[in-house]
């Protein structure tokens, strides 16, 4: 009796056929989360925690976390993945009704969070084992995590949105779902647990430029690029008193306007700071203020 061909095999063959043509792009759903974390790691290996939060709003002074997700990842020194835990998440009752916009964005309702509370001990048990916390918008996440978990305020953070040169690699949009699409994958956003699994899948990929399907073996994984950036630190450059007519110059160099402090600012890799100072001199601007920041300080400064 002839062996029946599985529908999955047919779909895989069809996808490979389409990938072989420059006229088509194929997207694949991310695999289901699973647990594969080794107990022992080789010398030089590192543990990182991927973290994401859903909140009642954007202001950490008044808004609260309603969901926190965390995933433990073991990395070799070069950023190659050695193993990982399954993503875990906890919900928390903010003590007030969720506004419709938050329910629309997160899918969480008042009933979902009623009576729920984050398990501080379980979260800190994971964070305390890790050398670095990773988020895709760490400047946002860290403020809520530090407020909710004061035990975590001394832990270092890295940001895959800010510290990987997506623009230089040809990716104009740095949103997680868009970056995954560019790498041939998709997932059902937008919840904290799904987001950290998606971020893990992106960061474990090998670095490549947009439109180049060949992975850059020489440059390793995105995790590796993020570790190198975090280890090196950065310089926060602040341009005070920059004439209004030069705002386009500042924007073109990647500066952001801080209306509260009335200053243009950006973070540059430590090695790039001399070139940044030279750019100010060549443009006839005063030398900017500069502060060296490490992974403990960068998103708290």
pLDDT along the chain (301 residues), means of 10: 55 63 73 91 96 97 98 97 97 97 95 98 97 97 98 97 94 95 86 94 94 66 97 96 91 93 94 95 94 96 84
Domain edges within the chain: 28-231, 233-293
Query: Which tokens hold the place of 117?
Result: 């509370």
List residues bridging with 292 in a β-sheet: 235
Which pLDDT score, from 0 to 100, does residue 301 have? 84
98 with 113: CB under 8 angstroms? Answer: yes
Q: What is the pTM of this model?
A: 0.89
Distance CA 267, CA 41 (A): 33
Q: Which of 227, 228, 222, 235 is nearest to 298 (CA)?
A: 235
List residues bridging with 84 in a β-sheet: 36, 73
Top CATH class, 28-231: alpha beta
31 with 187: CB under 8 angstroms? Answer: no
Backbone angles phi, psi at 196, to 5 degrees: -70, -35
166 with 179: CB under 8 angstroms? Answer: yes
Which pLDDT score, from 0 to 100, does residue 1 have? 45
pLDDT of 241-258, one tens digit each? 898 889 999 999 999 999
Which pLDDT score, from 0 to 100, does residue 11 have? 62
Q: Measured on CA atoms in the order 281, 284, 287, 289, is the torsion positive or negative?
A: negative
Which pLDDT score, from 0 to 100, does residue 279 have? 96
Q: How far is CA 280 from the centre of its chain?
A: 30
Q: Tokens 């946002």, residue?
A: 140
């Amino acid at each position: 009796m002839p062996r029946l061909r599985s529908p999955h095999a047919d779909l895989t063959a069809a996808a490979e056929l389409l990938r072989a043509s420059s006229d088509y792009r194929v997207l694949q759903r991310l695999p289901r989360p699973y647990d594969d974390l080794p107990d022992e790691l080789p010398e030089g290996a590192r543990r990182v925690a991927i973290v994401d939060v859903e909140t009642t709003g954007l202001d950490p002074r008044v808004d609260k976390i309603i969901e926190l997700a965390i995933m433990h990842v073991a990395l070799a020194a070069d950023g190659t993945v050695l193993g990982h835990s399954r993503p875990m998440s906890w919900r928390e009752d903010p003590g007030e009704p969720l506004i419709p916009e938050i329910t629309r964005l997160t899918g969480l309702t008042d009933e979902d969070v009623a009576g729920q509370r984050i398990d501080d001990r379980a979260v800190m048990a994971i964070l305390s084992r890790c050398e670095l916390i990773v988020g895709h918008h760490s400047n946002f996440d860290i403020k809520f995590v530090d407020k909710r978990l004061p035990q975590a305020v001394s832990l270092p953070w890295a940001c895959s949105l800010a510290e990987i040169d997506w623009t230089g690699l040809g990716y104009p949009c740095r949103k997680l779902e868009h970056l995954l699409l560019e790498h041939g994958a998709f997932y059902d956003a937008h919840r904290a647990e799904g987001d950290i699994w998606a971020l893990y899948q992106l960061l474990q990929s090998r670095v490549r430029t947009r439109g180049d399907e060949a992975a850059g073996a020489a440059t390793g994984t995105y995790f590796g690029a993020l570790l190198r950036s975090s280890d090196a630190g950065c310089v926060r450059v602040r341009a005070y008193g920059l004439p209004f007519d030069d705002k386009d110059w500042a924007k073109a160099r990647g500066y952001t306007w801080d209306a509260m402090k009335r200053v243009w600012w950006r973070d540059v890799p430590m090695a790039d700071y001399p070139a940044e100072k030279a750019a100010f001199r060549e443009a006839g601007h005063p030398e900017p203020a500069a502060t060296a920041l490490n992974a403990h300080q960068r998103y708290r400064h």
